[in-house]
Chains A and B, each alone.
Chain A
């Protein structure tokens, strides 16, 4: 078993680490406080190739593996989850379906501008009545005169309402086969008449990321905007979620690591009873436990990435990693706040933001309960 990263993986990780510290950390607090979308950072990440890490170089992607992507996600989440989810949702949810199932025309049209960070891609699966029960899609698309006419609503969608949003890949019911819903995927470009992104949600965290409900009212897109085979939509999107879980697991590892970094630095500097609080066993035990749990979670996440790259089934490992890391992120940020004492409750310290940003990781891209369902099913229950 080889735990060594390749030279390219190491260099990418170090580069994103330096980028996150140098470009993201100084503005993270302000972006969060003012709920501002990080346009400048996204542009810089686009220039560096960080908005298309796993996609083919001939379409402007980085041509790197899943583990490289995981390392980049970890390093961004270690500093700022809003920036990280913008990149991660764009990559593993928004752009991935076009890469995997797009025709040559669709890939040539979208991938270069998406990989370069010029435009953002969104993923429209969740609906008011289709969350964990993602198959309960109500949005419909009817083929009329060579066009799909889309009607319905999506919610909790990342990256659809920014100034640079390019398109959203959605699930829609396109008919019935043998009495069952036929679900297909469509690409809907931003600006298509009848497609509107609503007001941004007021969220607990991820304040600088763009999250909105979407409405489709007699929205017409060309027949050629069908993504993948008609009727494969649900299966295909579940596959996307499988892969997306690895990215979200990496966010959990990164956030937990960032919380530990902050807690450790604070504990060494904060004096109480005449010594740094890092000298007290109560603090040391928290820090030691977190460090051990983060390393275990990291290895599980890396393993899911390696399984994906090896072309093996990674559904079980990705669900395990997602379950473990989301909970760890919540616990790590809570402990980090605790170590900061009263200062941890004040927004000037990053751990306060980390605590708010962590909770979504046990919910988004499959709740803990869904992960448990997936895991139990994989184990034969």
Chain B
């Protein structure tokens, strides 16, 4: 079995995010890091490999991004991926989710993975959708927001976070699965693995190498038009219930929850 993990370089969580008003895109300058959700996807892949229920020949980290994105791949292989693929090309700049999903699918095609894993969301764009787009191009089933995953008899049994509780879904391989951060506790890369990261194979590809139609990526290939961007509305002030008599307080809280049909 071969597992490909899609990873992304994102602005570090400590960096305050802002939209560049000129480009209407997220300002991605400053410190960057591997998307934290993707570290859970890598951990999932490593646990399948180490679990031994199904032999895993290879875990391959795949990214699309500028030169600096190679650092996200270094971290991925330091965490335990066996090799990595870096898709980078000026023609890709400005790709929206659909264009990015198409480009990533073109890189994945020749790899013929049995399983594609990714974090359910990126820490920057937070679209949650890239997995579904990739799956559509690869003609594979897709599951999102998976928080538990077991491999058995060549199938996956997944628990998917739903609005209320969990859905248990069985899916045939190959498949594209996006995972939530509740699925596992990612390991830290060891110093030895960090020092050895650059020794693992890294395959750099341009759009032409991957057979990507340049008209379907970058700004020309992106159909998303950003008309306006606004900060999220300020949170409404909550209701504070003073605890004078605990029985009364409990009643008030229950009534409050009941009113909103939360019980």
Interface residues of A (CB under 8 A from B): 7-8, 10-12, 14-15, 18-19, 47-50, 53, 57, 62-64
8 CB contacts below 8 A, A to B, read A7-B70, A10-B71, A11-B71, A11-B197, A14-B75, A15-B188, A15-B194, A53-B191
Q: Is the CB–CB distance between B71 and A63 below 8 Å?
A: no
Q: A63-B195, A64-B195 are in contact. Are A11 and B78 (CB under 8 A)?
A: yes
Q: Which residues of A sit under 8 angstroms from B33, Cβ to Cβ?
A: 14
Q: Which of B50-89 contact A (CB under 8 A)?
A: 70-71, 74-75, 78
A8 CA / B189 CA spacing, docked (Å): 11
A308 CA / B75 CA spacing, docked (Å): 27
Q: Which of B71, B78, B191, B198 contacts A62 (CB 8 A)?
A: B191
Q: Which residues of B sit under 8 angstroms from A12, Cβ to Cβ?
A: 191, 194
B190 at the interface (CB under 8 A from A): yes
Given A62-B192, A62-B195, 6 extra CB contacts under 8 A:
A7-B74, A11-B74, A14-B75, A47-B190, A53-B191, A62-B191
A10 CA / B70 CA spacing, docked (Å): 13
Q: Is the CB–CB distance between A48 and B191 below 8 Å?
A: yes
Q: Which residues of A sit under 8 angstroms from B75, Cβ to Cβ?
A: 11, 14
Residues of A contacting B: mostly: helix
Q: A14-B33, A64-B195 are in contact. Are A7 and B71 (CB under 8 A)?
A: yes
**Closest residue of chain A to B78, judged by CB?**
A11
Q: Which residues of B sit under 8 angstroms from A19, Cβ to Cβ?
A: 188
List 7 tightest A-B contacts by C-beta distance, closest first: A49-B191, A62-B191, A49-B190, A48-B190, A11-B194, A49-B192, A15-B188
Q: Please give the distance in Å from B160's CB to the nearest CB on chain A.
A: 26
Q: Please give the distance in Å from B61's CB to the nearest CB on chain A.
A: 14
A277 CA / B4 CA spacing, docked (Å): 48
Q: How would residues 164 to 196 of chain B score, 1 for a CB under 8 Å from any chain A CB and 0 otherwise?
A: 000000000000000000000000111110110
Q: Please give the distance in Å from A50's CB to the nearest CB on chain B.
A: 6
Q: Which residues of B sit under 8 angstroms from A57, Cβ to Cβ?
A: 192, 195
Q: Which residues of A sit under 8 angstroms from B78, Cβ to Cβ?
A: 11
Q: Is the CB–CB distance between B188 and A8 below 8 Å?
A: no
Q: Which residues of A sit under 8 angstroms from B71, Cβ to Cβ?
A: 7, 10-11
A49 CA / B192 CA spacing, docked (Å): 7
Q: Which of A7, A48, A53, A63 contacts B188 (CB 8 A)?
A: A48
Q: Which residues of B sit under 8 angstroms from A18, Cβ to Cβ?
A: 188
Q: Please give the distance in Å from B75's CB to the nearest CB on chain A.
A: 6
**Closest residue of chain B to A11, judged by CB?**
B194
A48 CA / B70 CA spacing, docked (Å): 23
A10 CA / B74 CA spacing, docked (Å): 11
Q: Please give the distance in Å from A144's CB to the nearest CB on chain B.
A: 43
**Closest residue of chain B to A63, judged by CB?**
B195
A352 CA / B211 CA spacing, docked (Å): 60
A12 CA / B189 CA spacing, docked (Å): 8
A53 CA / B188 CA spacing, docked (Å): 15
Q: Please give the distance in Å from B118's CB to the nearest CB on chain A.
A: 20
Q: Is the CB–CB distance between A15 and B192 below 8 Å?
A: no
Q: Please give the distance in Å from A90's CB to the nearest CB on chain B.
A: 15
Q: Is the CB–CB distance between A8 and B190 below 8 Å?
A: no
**Closest residue of chain B to A47, judged by CB?**
B190
A201 CA / B65 CA spacing, docked (Å): 54
Q: Please give the distance in Å from B100's CB to the nearest CB on chain A.
A: 24
**Closest residue of chain A to B36, judged by CB?**
A18
Q: Which residues of B sit under 8 angstroms from A10, Cβ to Cβ?
A: 71
Q: Please give the distance in Å from B48's CB to the nearest CB on chain A.
A: 22
Q: Which residues of B sit under 8 angstroms from A47, Cβ to Cβ?
A: 190
Q: Which residues of B sit under 8 angstroms from A50, Cβ to Cβ?
A: 191
Q: Is the CB–CB distance between B197 and A8 below 8 Å?
A: yes
**Closest residue of chain B to A261, judged by CB?**
B14
A318 CA / B71 CA spacing, docked (Å): 31
Interface centre among B75, B188, B191, B192 (most CB of A within 10 A): B191
A48 CA / B190 CA spacing, docked (Å): 4
**Closest residue of chain B to A72, judged by CB?**
B191
Q: Please give the distance in Å from A355's CB to the nearest CB on chain B.
A: 24
A7 CA / B33 CA spacing, docked (Å): 12
Q: Which of A7, A14, A15 contacts B198 (CB 8 A)?
A: A7
Q: Which residues of B sit under 8 angstroms from A7, Cβ to Cβ?
A: 70-71, 74, 197-198
Q: Please give the distance in Å from A220's CB to the nearest CB on chain B.
A: 37
Q: Please give the distance in Å from B186's CB to the nearest CB on chain A.
A: 9
**Closest residue of chain B to A50, judged by CB?**
B191
Q: A7-B71, A10-B71 are in contact. Are A15 and B195 (CB under 8 A)?
A: no
Q: Which residues of B sit under 8 angstroms from A49, Cβ to Cβ?
A: 190-192
Q: Which residues of B sit under 8 angstroms from A14, Cβ to Cβ?
A: 33, 75
A283 CA / B130 CA spacing, docked (Å): 44
**Closest residue of chain B to A49, judged by CB?**
B191
